[in-house]
Structure formats: structure tokens, C-alpha cells
């Protein structure tokens, strides 16, 4: 059976070749229909204009026949084009579902793996399609929606590339909070981090890493940059279900304490996450000499991909 890529390319080529032709060339104005003169040649008194009537009937019948033929061909081409487009989208959707289901780090074990040359029979039963948290290279990305207390809302986006021990990742958190001076509107805060990571404990069921880098805070009246450190871990607890936790600290020139704990469900390369997040922000008087502090916490829910 041909692969999905081959079927996709074939469907796209056929669709391009058999697509219904346009009525006018791209970028060119259609020619207006020529007007017909209402006058006609005079005929002798008492003589019927049979020839003209016959010609008109003949032209009318011919025009009707040609119009019906054109409509039939146009309808057939439209139906064929719609069918090809529908098949193309169906193949693309099928390929996406197959790619998501057949990739990822938490695929089920193969109980009856094929015997390799020099491999003992008792070893084949332990062969798995992936090594979960001990994979040599992984790429992850995703986003979460935060529902925090006091009508605060947030959205967190992250992306990371990790090798067996070392990696790099970035986080961006957008916060929307009610104003604290009683005026209408909302205050916007943007917190970002770029970290280098080192996994000092790597197992198939567990990965524990340390993080260090730079964090920034964009507030209504100030922009702050400081050092950032953190610790995170992931652990398998039941089949494709993981327990995840992360904490991050920026001690100066502003204080940021950020912690999350939750569960992650692996569905191939698709991941669905949910849990609880707490956040403490303190500008330590960098704006006007008076320390302003926000304490936020609440549930989060989101998803992403891990390859």
C-alpha cells in the first residue's frame, strides 16, 4: 500500500491537473458582450420573413444546445474538483492523526519485537518503541490557559529542545489583571524566561533537571531583567500519565516565585496538561520606592506536542 506522503502528492497533482478552468484569465477584465442591433432588413409587402424566423429558431436551438452542453460539462468538472478536494483533505487529516498516534515518547511496548542478529530471545520482550524520559533527543511545545483568583487571567506558552542531558527552553506568560486604582480597564504583565537545562537524573520513568538563565518582566511602568534559576521533573505514574512539577525563582532586581504541579496525559505526541499554579511577584520598590506585590494562584489547562 502506498505511503501517506505518496497518496497526498498524487491527490494534489490530480487536483491541479483536473481543476475546473477559470472563466477569465487572472488579472484580465472580461470582454463585454457585443450588443445586437434591433433593426433588420426590410421585406416585401405580403411576404413572410420565414428565413429570418428560421434563422432565429435555428440560432436559438443551437444556443440552447450549446448552453446545456457547457452547463453539463461545468457541473461535471465542479463535482470532480469537489471530490478531489474532499479526498485530499481526508488524506491529510488521516495522515495527521496517524503521525500523532505513532510518534511521541510514551508509546506502548512491543511485546513481540523482531529478533535481531545476535540478540537473545529473552531480550526481545524488553524492547520498547521509545525510551520515554530517557530519549536522546526531544522537542516539546505547548500552551496553557490560567484561571487565577481575583478575576486574573493568563496564558503560558513554552518551547524546548532537549538532548539526553542538556537542553534549552523558553517560557512566556501573559497576565491580565484588574486595575488596582479603581479605574476601568486591566493591567497587562508579560513574564518571560530563557533557560539552559541540565538533566542530572535520567531514567526511563523519570527526568530531574536543573535550570538557569535570564528572566524579564514587562509591567505598565517598568521593564526588569534579572537572573533566573529553577528545578523541574517529570515522572511516569500510570501508563501514559505523568506527574509534572516545576519551580522557578528570580531573586533580583525583582522577586518572582513561580511554581506548578499537575498531570500530563500522553496521546502519542499529543499531550494534555492540567494542574495548579502559584505565582508571587514583588517589584521591591524599583518603580517608586514602594514595594508592590501580587499573589496569584489557580488552575491551569492546556496541551501541546512532544516529539
End-to-end CA distance of the chain: 26
Task: For residue 70, give every residue at least 6 positions away whose Cβ sits within 8 Å of its Cβ, in sequence order, or none.
Answer: none
pLDDT of residue 152: 87
Task: Measure Cα distances from 150 to 60, 139, 154, 155, 172 in Å.
Answer: 76, 35, 12, 16, 21
Give the lowest-confidence range in 72-86, 96-110, 121-135, 253-267. Answer: 121-135
Task: For residue 9, give every residue at least 6 positions away whose Cβ sits within 8 Å of its Cβ, in sequence order, or none.
Answer: none
DSSP the chain: ---HHHHHHHHHHHHHHHSPPPSS-TT-PPPPPPPPPS------TT---HHHHHHHHHHHHHHHHHHHHHHHHHHHHHHHHHHHHHHHHHHHHHHHHHHHHH-SS-PPB-TTPPPPTT--HHHHTT-BS--GGG-SEEEEEEEEEEE-STT-EEEEEEEEEEESSEEEEEEEEEEEEE-SSS-SSEEEEEEEEEEEEEEEEEETTEEEEEEEEEEEEE-SS-EEEEEEEEEEEEEEEETTEEEEEEEEEE-SSSEEEEEEEEEEEEETTEEEEEEEEEEEEE-TTTTTSS--EEEEEEEEEEEEEE-
Here the cell at position 47 is 411576404
CA nearest to 157, candidates 170, 176, 138: 170
Taking each helix axis from N to C terminus, what angle separates 4-18 and 50-102, rounded to the nearest 10 degrees? 160
Cα–Cα distance, 176 to 155 (Å, whole number): 9
Which value, in Å, is the radius of gyration of the alpha carbons in the chain? 34
Render pLDDT for 137-172 as a digit per residue (tens, 0 to 9): 999 999 999 988 878 899 999 999 999 999 999 999
pLDDT at position 250 over 70: yes
Render pLDDT for 99-110 as a digit per residue (tens, 0 to 9): 666 666 777 655
Residue % of the chain over a pLDDT of 90: 38
Render pLDDT for 40-91 as a digit per residue (tens, 0 to 9): 444 444 455 555 555 555 555 554 555 555 566 666 666 666 777 776 767 7
CATH number of 133-306: 2.40.128.100
Render pLDDT for 12-40 as a digit per residue (tens, 0 to 9): 444 444 444 444 433 234 455 544 444 44
Here the cell at position 223 is 521593564
pLDDT of residue 278: 94
pLDDT at position 306 over 90: no
pLDDT of residue 262: 96
Cα–Cα distance, 179 to 264 (Å, whole number): 34
pTM for this model (two decimals): 0.64
Amino acid at each position: 500500500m502506498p505511503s501517506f506522503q505518496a497518496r497526498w502528492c498524487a491527490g494534489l497533482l490530480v487536483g491541479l491537473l483536473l481543476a475546473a478552468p477559470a472563466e477569465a484569465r487572472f488579472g484580465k477584465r472580461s470582454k463585454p458582450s457585443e450588443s445586437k442591433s434591433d433593426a433588420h432588413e426590410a421585406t416585401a409587402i405580403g411576404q413572410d420573413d420565414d428565413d429570418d424566423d428560421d434563422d432565429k429558431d435555428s440560432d436559438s436551438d443551437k444556443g440552447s444546445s450549446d448552453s446545456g452542453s457547457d452547463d453539463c460539462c461545468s457541473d461535471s468538472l465542479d463535482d470532480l474538483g469537489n471530490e478531489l478536494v474532499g479526498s485530499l483533505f481526508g488524506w491529510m487529516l488521516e495522515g495527521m492523526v496517524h503521525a500523532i498516534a505513532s510518534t511521541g515518547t510514551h508509546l506502548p511496548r512491543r511485546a513481540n519485537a523482531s529478533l535481531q542478529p545476535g540478540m537473545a530471545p529473552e531480550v526481545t520482550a524488553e524492547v520498547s518503541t521509545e525510551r520515554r524520559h530517557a530519549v536522546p533527543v526531544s522537542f516539546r511545545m505547548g500552551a496553557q490557559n490560567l484561571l487565577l483568583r481575583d478575576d486574573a487571567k493568563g496564558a503560558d506558552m513554552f518551547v524546548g529542545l532537549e538532548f539526553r542531558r542538556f537542553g534549552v527552553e523558553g517560557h512566556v506568560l501573559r497576565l491580565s489583571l484588574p486595575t488596582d486604582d479603581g479605574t476601568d480597564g486591566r493591567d497587562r504583565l508579560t513574564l518571560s524566561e530563557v533557560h539552559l537545562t541540565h538533566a542530572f537524573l535520567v531514567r526511563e520513568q523519570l527526568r530531574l533537571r536543573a535550570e538557569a538563565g535570564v528572566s524579564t518582566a514587562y509591567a505598565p511602568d517598568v521593564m526588569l531583567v534579572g537572573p533566573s534559576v529553577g528545578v523541574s521533573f517529570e515522572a511516569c505514574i500510570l501508563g501514559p500519565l505523568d506527574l509534572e512539577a516545576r519551580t522557578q525563582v528570580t531573586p533580583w532586581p525583582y522577586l518572582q516565585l513561580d511554581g506548578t504541579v499537575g498531570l500530563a496525559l500522553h496521546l502519542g505526541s499529543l499531550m494534555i496538561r492540567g494542574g495548579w499554579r502559584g505565582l508571587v511577584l514583588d517589584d521591591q520598590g524599583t518603580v517608586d520606592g514602594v514595594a508592590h506585590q501580587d499573589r496569584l494562584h489557580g488552575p491551569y489547562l492546556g496541551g501541546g506536542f512532544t516529539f
